[in-house]
Amino acid sequence: MSGIKIKLRGSAAKIVNKAVAVTLEQTAAAVMKNVQNAQVMPKDTGTLQDQSTFVYDSESKRGVVGIISDTPYARRLYYHPAYNFRTSENANAGGKWYQPWIDGDKEDFASNVFAELLRRNLK
């Protein structure tokens, strides 16, 4: 760092903090939608992708959001890409479906979306 310090006071800090929290929630929703559109999640009946995966945003004011899949089999499917995944519903279905957004060809997606949304939310 170059030693630059920024101090926000009063209402300005509240406005920025609120915009960051909202932007985090919107970014997580955009990533989830992008994953669904990429058709990488295993899909048979659609329960995992369509009903049991959601944005966890109750701690967004603390800077914490997440995409949660709460089915008992989600972890097993995610960490075992050797399964023979059906591709009739989702053409690119497989394990480790978030990997391109973590360190693959889509790793800049979340940061780019966050930056654009934050600009909009601060206007």
Every domain of the chain and the residues it spans: 11-121
Is 90 exceeded by the pLDDT of residue 1?
no
pLDDT, tens digit (0-9, with 9 covering 90-100), for 8-18: 777 888 999 99
Q: Measure the CA–CA gap between 89 and 6, rounded to whole angstroms.
A: 50
Tokens of 2: 């170059």
pLDDT recorded at residue 5: 79
Exposed (0-12), middle (13-18) or buried (19+): which is 60, by Cβ within 10 Å? Answer: buried
Average pLDDT, stretch 95-107? 97
The DSSP 8-state label assigned to residue 58 in this structure reads: E
pLDDT, tens digit (0-9, with 9 covering 90-100), for 17-54: 999 999 999 999 999 999 999 999 999 999 999 999 99
Strands (E) in 11-123, as ranges, are 53-59, 64-69
